[in-house]
Structures are given as C-alpha cells and as structure tokens.
Amino acid sequence: MTVKAFIKGCAAAATIVTATMSATMSAGLAADLAIVHAGRLLAEPGAAPLGNRSVIIRDGRIAEIREGFVDAAAAGAADGDDVVIHDLSDMFVMPGLIDGHVHITHENNPRARLQRVEMSAADYAVAGAGFARTTLMAGFTTVRDVGARERDAIFALRAGIERGDVVGPRIFASGSTISVTGGHGDGTQGYREDIGEILHHTGVCDGVGSCRQAVREQVRAGADHIKLTATAGVLSNTAAGLEQQFFEDELEAIMDSAHAMNRKVTAHAHGVDGINAALRAGVDSIEHGTYLDSESIRLFKRNGAYLVPTVLAGVTVAEWAEDPESFLLPPQRAKAAEVGPNMLDMARRAHAGGVKIAFGTDSGVSRHGDNAREFALLVEAGLTPMEAIYAATVAGAENLGQSDMLGAIAPGKHADIIAVDGDPLTDVTELEDVDFVMKGGTAYKTP
C-alpha cells in the first residue's frame, strides 16, 4: 500500500503520515516531495558524517540538505503536493552503492554450460530481472555490467529498468566483450563446431581493422562503455594460461576507437604482461589485476586508471577449486586454484602503492545479492571502512564517468540513498544487511 502525506491548506498545518512499504512490493514508494530524516548522514564518503539532517528530494533528485528534522511545510511543499517522510532518525544514511563489475543476466551454476544452448536472449533477460531486483534490495543502486551472455538481454533489461517496467539498479552496460578468437570472452570453447558458430558474438575480433569494427558495433548497439579481455581468464574452458591475448596494435585500436566515440574502456586482465600492455595502450580501468607488479602500479598512477580488484570473485573460485564435487572443468579448476588465493594480496599491494580502487565484485561468478561481502575483503586488504565505502560511491561514480549524478548525496544528483541500523565505519559488514533502499527518489525497501 502506498501511504502519502497530503498537504492541505496552509503548509504549517500539514499532516505527516509515516511511509511504510514491504520489500517484496513490485513498485516503489514515490511522491512529489520526499524527505529523509537521517540520524547520521554520510553525504560525501571521505568526509565526516553529519548528525540529524533532512534530505529533501524532488523529481528524483536531491534538492537540498537541511540541518535538523524538517516537516513538509519547512521543506517547501506546495498545496496539493504528495509528500512522503522517511523517518531514518535512528539510522546511518549514505549514498546508494555502485558495483563496477557484474554480469547481471546470469549466475554461475552446474548447468551454466548447458544453459548457453537452452536459453534465449529473452530467457537471460527474464533471469536478469530477478538478479537485478536482488541486487537493488542489497543496496546497490547502480551497476556496471561488463559482458552479457546475450547482448540483447542486457540492453533490454537496462531499458526495462529505465522505463520502470522492472525493479533493479541503474545499469551501465558494455554489451558483448571484445575478445580474440578462442580467447577469454569468446565463450565457444568446448562446444561442437556448429554450436560454437551459433554462440559466436560480435565482440570477437582479430587484427586492427576487425577490432575497430567490433568496438564500433558495440557502440552502435548501445554500449555505455567497452570491455575487453586483455589476458586469458579463469572460467574460460581452455588451458591457455593467464597471459596477454591481444597484441599491442590491437589494444591501441580498441582504445582509440572507443575513446573516439566517447566510451571508456576497461580490461579484464590477470597476467602482468596483459595488465601493463593495456595500461600502456591507455585503458581507463583494469578488472582483477591479479599479477600486477611495481611497473603496473607506476602505470596506474601515471594514467589515473582505476583498479577494480573483484576479491570476492577470487575467494569464490578458490572455494570451487577446493571442492572436488564442484562443477568446474579441469582447465577451470587449475586456473581457479592458482588465481583465487592471490587476489587479496594483489589488492593489498595496489592499495599500499596508491592505486585508485573502485568497488567491483564480478557478481555472476559469486551470487547476486552477496555483493557487499567485498567490503570486508577490501578492509582485510588494508583499506579502512571509509576507503572501502568511498570505492563503492565516489570512486565508483568517477570510474563510470558519472560523478555529476552519482556517488554522493548532494543537490542535483540522483536521490540514490541507503540506510543501515549500525555504523559501517566501525563494522563494514553492516552493509551486508541494508534496511532502506531508495533509487531515483523512489523507496523500494524500508525498515
């Protein structure tokens, strides 16, 4: 049931009705004017929290932040406005979280390889709708999808969420991953040749001209950014190691083509040769970064590039590798056992070296909705709780090129707000149980 406070007569006589809503409702709670009473407000992660503040929201954007707990009249409600006040006066309030590395339309499971030939793009889009809802309810109001099993599925899901047909986080999507033939991101390894031809996608390229075309094809289809696989990967079904797969001229062609069309580029990269080659070619961010070295750190800092360490993915695949009953195929198991245990130390070395870190989980490898487990792992790697939160808000927005609209609670930005009972600056695992979720001024989950 939607409960609203209707302002009648003079604003000073406004009747305030507490807004409540079940987390299982299909539609969120919206109003002409929304007010969030925040007991503690971390408006700008990196700065100290503020006490007893009112966040005033109009048309899905932050209008202003006031000291104290203001009523509808003080907030400027007009006669006839529908007003909702969210009483979070005993809670810790902060910006919605940003996960910079997800695969929202699928989730690894024992049937995943068979599903590749059973499920259509429509099937993946429907599955993605469920994963998107779960992700939003976990407090992640924005995600960057870095490669979908079916390109049409991720773009349809993104559009459905934008229209309000589907409940989920704001999605920035790459479409198909740019990969060499047979490389990580090709996805046809181990299938019969005629089946492989069906699974072949527009991101596979070889040579400078082919790679330029592959980038432009993703942009034509609607990609917000470009994702490439600079090295081999863990879960591709091939014993190709973990080293560089694109040649330098191909990498430069991808960067130049994407940047010419105003798209950022991120590179999946485990092996140090691929990491450094991508950084030298001008990549904007690196995903995973498992075997980065001192030269990598120098290049990160020189270029201002971000690292998205996805430590949770490393923990997840290491657990699978140790389980003799897991669904990993032999090449996958060998690489998972090698890579997984190294990722925490990688994040520790990168942070100590001053590399900019943006939050990302590789959810789809790990379970959607468990994204916040990454916070504790980042803290274990040496980040403070505030630095880990900064990585999932301010830094996450900058990594997406969306700092003007996301990452903080400030006038003009999207009203993406979450709240928890405890203090995540003391215990970052508080973020694993988010109690309030608002995206674009609409509350989807309340205490």
Residue 16: give its domain's CATH number: 2.30.40.10
Give 3-state DSSP helix, strand, coil % of the chain, rounded to 5. 35, 20, 45
pLDDT tens by residue, 174-198: 999 999 998 887 676 666 777 766 6
Torsion sign across C-alpha atoms 378, 326, 131, 19: negative
Write the burial class of residue 127 (CB in 10 Å: 0-12 exposed, 13-18 middle, 19+ buried): buried
What is the C-alpha separation between 444 and 447, in angstroms, rounded? Answer: 10
Instruction: Note whether 299 and 328 are same-domain residues.
Output: yes
Predicted pLDDT of residue 420: 98
Query: What's the pTM?
Result: 0.91
Instruction: Note whether 350 and 431 are same-domain residues.
Output: no
Torsion sign across C-alpha atoms 176, 177, 178, 184: negative
Q: Which of 400, 417, 432 is where one domain is finished?
A: 400
| Dihedral pair phi/psi, residue 216, rounded to 5° | -65, -30
Predicted pLDDT of residue 237: 66
Contact 86, 37 (CB under 8 A): yes
- What CATH number is attached to the domain comprising 117? 3.20.20.140
Torsion sign across C-alpha atoms 254, 259, 265, 267: positive
| Residue partners of 336: CB distance under 8 A and separation at least 6 | 234, 235, 317, 318, 320, 321, 328
Instruction: Note whether 168 and 297 are same-domain residues.
Output: yes
Tokens linked to 37: 């009473």
Contact 23, 436 (CB under 8 A): no
Instruction: Note whether 122 and 251 are same-domain residues.
Output: yes
How many separate domains does the chain show?
Answer: 2
Tokens linked to 239: 């014993």
Instruction: Note whether 360 and 423 are same-domain residues.
Output: no
Whole-angstrom distance between the N-terminal and C-terminal Cα of the chain? 15
Instruction: Note whether 269 and 289 are same-domain residues.
Output: yes
Instruction: Note whether 395 and 432 are same-domain residues.
Output: no
Domain with 430 in it:
5-96+408-445
Per-residue burial over 395-416, b if 16 or more Cβ lie within 10 Å, else e, is: bbbbbbbbeebbbbbeeebbbb
Instruction: Note whether 202 and 326 are same-domain residues.
Output: yes
Instruction: Note whether 393 and 413 are same-domain residues.
Output: no
Place of tokens 């790990």: 366
Positions of the chain with pLDDT lower than 70, given as ranges:
1-27, 186, 188-191, 196-200, 236-237, 240-241
Instruction: Note whether 389 and 324 are same-domain residues.
Output: yes
Instruction: Note whether 126 and 77 are same-domain residues.
Output: no
Instruction: Note whether 169 and 270 are same-domain residues.
Output: yes
